Chain A
């Protein structure tokens, strides 16, 4: 019987139990790699598998949990040797009585953005395992004990791209209901079902008694069959053993059939005895399987946003009409985008739209970079916004969670280019009600296009709940009759097709006076007609206020809790005193970041921007720098002052970019934390200080390959490169980077710094300058660039 037949059969399916503990019991030595058992202790392995078959297991996990090239590297064996041998041992023991699964465990290193392992490298590591398993004839793949949803995605993608095998995916959670990295069962369920898992489950870390809450959460967010493989209770902190018996284990597990758990087995500490008891306890049990209907929702790895009320999509990460964002994209200033993201989330955005399309840059590469960086700091799900299927796919690959793709339209060509991506990566999709012939005038015609988009999406296997329709806002000043048609179309999409709706709101008022008033009222009208997902600028308080009011008045915000939380204290809120009290110079010297912006704005009314820079900001920074050198102030004050000056410069920059073309800083200076090193706070302090002094800084980030540094120097004709390293082990990368710059004949100077670096070492590795702190790096820049 194949896996798919097993799936169709009513009643529970029995899995096997622990392997590591069984091997140790037979004498596997300390430090011996358990993955090599098929090569070195084949008899033990076959016996253990066989005892599970005799206990009643219907699926055996081959002993391949750690059989990836990273973990095997230390053993001198290859994936190609270990996996076929392990599968063969399980197959022999199965004797036709059980199916054999390739067991896939974590690589052992964390992926970006939490760790340093690149996503595509992880996919390739898993793909190698899958290819071996396919040629060795595995019946299915079991991905398990994952703590990182992103790693789970990499493994699942590797299975889907390299086989047609069924795949069970299971993560391990702590008692608080999250993985070590904070991923929730709900996020795992939405994400993995979207990407084509066949079974979703929980294994390891906890005992069967802790399972019901996790299973309940999974059930709400996936319609797939569920699996549970707990440990034999909770572990002893010293790693000595687990706390429940086989009988207790079996009794608790059998209860889970009432929650619809179809696949039952054991993890660490369980033995064939546990599985035999489990078989007895499951005998005669039927599964409670009411039909599950998963509501419309999107998620990141840590946060689910169900589309069960108005959810605000922040529109600010988009260069269209935003000069500062455009500049940030051209310079690769990801920090600016992160600050925009955080600001929007704090203002009330539930989801963030991400559009990084500019003709001058590689959109796909930038999409990858921005998605990774954003997911490192914000929990809000993202809406990937691009007209390029290539950029969308690159973004979707690295996005952890269930994203929204913005967008397709009624044109068959875009539908066929983008919908397969939406399906493959399990996203939701926005359908614009336009096609080759443009935007239809009437609501009826827009509804027709929406219908066409829906049908196509369904044909690709995309869930109805994952199709959101944008009936398109037209500018009221140009087409006054349009607004009513948009609202009518929206209302009909909602009632006749039953789909969620999305609308860019801000366009409506283009070319009109009192734009916020028009926007706010249009938003309110749209919400009452059934708008679910307004795209807007959440920093405009009136818009968020409209959404909050709507929820209040529609009785969504029960007992007005959210409304009162937002506005209940408005009267007592004291605004910070703007300017006046303190001079800008004092503000910078004292590091009062919060006051800097207002003070500069006030000064700008009477003083020229450059006069403020040269006459106030730079002297203030010089003073703080001199005090720092003399030991009168310390590092925190230096950073605080730099932060205050940065806030002041930001205002001046806005003013300048309002007037002239893009202002060019001196330099530019390339900064990077070297390959292998991920400490970048020191480098970031240097960056802020250099920018304060008017240098254009291209920040390549951390863990940067020598080649990438050389390429940046060449592309930007940079006269100075700053390299940072904080570990004794990564000083070597610093040396390699400098060596490469020299070999390539690049005429730039190098300055190095970092806690473990010394002047002597800097000289030895051929750096031109050593900077012991951020202040000294400014001195170096002045010397090299002026």
Chain B
């Protein structure tokens, strides 16, 4: 199923910009609206997924008897899930290029587009998540969980992308330092359980910056982890 982003919630974009929506000046709101307009012209959201059987082991979670996802946090998160859908989603390289282009001339606009792109990736992931849930009727799902949350290492990115054949299928890669490229992209696990599990809420758990985080202060999330 193709995923589209036709519009974005401007308040959400403002939160990513570190500005509480109810206190945004008109000029800042205009900046955010323009950012959304510029961004939506340049993005091409794509995604890919694959389902895995899970085995909980002492050191983490194992996928279909293959890759071990190390650490305690994901394991706790997926307890009660017999399987998980691994997915990746990306806005494509157009967003990166647009931001680079704006950066040299109008930093405020570049910053607003960067924030809009963070909101757009979240929107894409929300749609993907709904789509995946519909593929597992009668099942239950905790929130989606990405490398970088808790103690799940970012260094898994390259292997996760390989499992999804992501470079070929959607053009998503990871750098040698495990940064997803195109930048505005996400990989995540959606646990799938036969019996109800606590949905739990996505939070900034494990982020060392949570105390001073600008995004959190304005009621948002940075979109990085």
Contact = CB atoms under 8 A, between A and B. Distances in A.
B163 A180 contact: no
6 contacts: A108-B167, A114-B93, A636-B18, A675-B177, A677-B177, A730-B177
Contacts of B135: 238
A681 interface: yes
Interface in B79-115: 92-94, 96-97, 99-101, 103-108, 110-112, 114
A634 B154 contact: no
A70 to B, nearest CB: 8
A635 B28 CA distance: 10
B7 interface: no
A316 to B, nearest CB: 14
A117 interface: yes
A721 to B, nearest CB: 21
Nearest to A346: B105
A40 to B, nearest CB: 16
B27 to A, nearest CB: 6
Interface string A103-120: 000101110011111000
B208 A728 contact: yes
B45 interface: no
B104 A636 contact: no
Contacts of A675: 177
A639 B35 CA distance: 15
Given A108-B158, A678-B183, A758 B208 contact: yes
Nearest to A336: B104
A172 interface: yes
Nearest to A235: B169
A634 B219 CA distance: 13
A294 B97 CA distance: 30
A741 B28 CA distance: 40
A377 B167 CA distance: 23
A120 to B, nearest CB: 15
A238 B170 CA distance: 12
B22 to A, nearest CB: 12
A389 to B, nearest CB: 30
B103 A237 contact: no
B179 interface: yes
A43 interface: no
Contacts of B127: none
A763 B74 CA distance: 30
Q: Which 4 pairs across A and B sit closest by C-beta, in order of nearness? A: A180-B171, A676-B177, A31-B66, A338-B104
Interface string A138-156: 0000000101000000000
Contacts, number: 194
Interface residues of B, number: 76
Chain A interface size, as a band, is 35 or more
A335 B18 contact: no
A756 interface: yes
B8 interface: no
B168 A172 contact: yes
Given A237-B1, A635-B214, A681-B110, A114 B182 contact: yes
B50 A755 contact: no
A591 B29 CA distance: 13
B114 A681 contact: yes
B48 interface: yes
B203 interface: no
A534 B162 CA distance: 49
Contacts of B183: 678
Given A339-B105, A635-B18, A758-B208, A110 B173 contact: yes
Interface of A: 29-31, 70, 74, 106, 108-110, 113-117, 145, 147, 172, 179-182, 204-205, 235, 237-239, 335-336, 338-339, 342, 376-378, 590-593, 633-637, 639-640, 642-643, 675-678, 680-681, 684-685, 688, 726-730, 755-759, 761, 772-773
A109 B212 CA distance: 33
Contacts of B63: 30
Contact of B154 (A31, A172, A335, A727): A727
Given A109-B173, A114-B96, A593 B108 contact: yes
Contacts of B66: 29-31
A475 B18 CA distance: 56
B208 A342 contact: no
B181 A115 contact: yes
A180 B209 contact: no
Contact of A116 (B20, B27, B179): B179
Contact of B64 (A30, A238, A727): A30
Contacts of A727: 154, 177, 179, 224
B222 interface: yes
A681 B110 CA distance: 8
Pick from A109, A145, A592, A633 the residue with the most CB of B within 10 Å: A109
A29 B24 CA distance: 54
Interface of B: 1, 17-20, 23-25, 27-28, 31-32, 46-51, 63-67, 92-94, 96-97, 99-101, 103-108, 110-112, 114, 135, 148, 154-155, 158-159, 162-165, 167-171, 173-179, 181-183, 207-209, 211-214, 218, 222, 224
Contacts of A761: 208
B60 to A, nearest CB: 15
Contacts of A677: 177, 179
Given A237-B49, A635-B214, A759-B212, 11 more contacts: A30-B66, A106-B167, A181-B171, A182-B97, A239-B169, A590-B27, A634-B20, A636-B112, A727-B179, A755-B214, A755-B222
Pick from B66, B112, B171 the residue with the most CB of A within 10 Å: B171
A772 B112 contact: no
B148 to A, nearest CB: 7
Nearest to A268: B168
Contacts of A204: 168
Nearest to A176: B44
B93 A634 contact: no
Contact of B101 (A109, A179, A239, A377): A377
B208 A147 contact: no
A63 B147 CA distance: 31
A116 B94 contact: no
A635 B17 contact: yes
A562 to B, nearest CB: 21
A757 B209 contact: yes
Given A235-B169, A237-B1, A678-B175, A636 B17 contact: yes
A755 B108 contact: no
Contacts of B155: 729
Given A145-B168, A688-B107, A755-B224, A108 B173 contact: yes
A642 B107 contact: yes
Contacts of B111: 635-636, 639, 681, 685
A785 to B, nearest CB: 23
Contacts of A237: 1, 47-49
A237 B170 CA distance: 10
B176 A116 contact: yes
Contact of B19 (A147, A238, A335, A635): A635
B65 A30 contact: yes
Contacts of A342: 101, 104-105
Contacts of B97: 114, 182, 376-377
A335 B103 CA distance: 8
B168 A109 contact: no
Pick from B46, B107, B171 the residue with the most CB of A within 10 Å: B107
A31 B67 contact: yes
Contact of A639 (B107, B209, B222): B107
Contacts of B101: 338, 342, 377-378
B50 A239 contact: yes
A710 B222 CA distance: 31
Given A239-B169, A636-B31, A637-B25, A115 B19 contact: no
Contacts of B214: 635, 755, 773
Contact of B176 (A117, A755, A773): A117
A109 B25 contact: no
A238 B49 contact: yes
B103 A681 contact: yes
A116 B105 contact: no
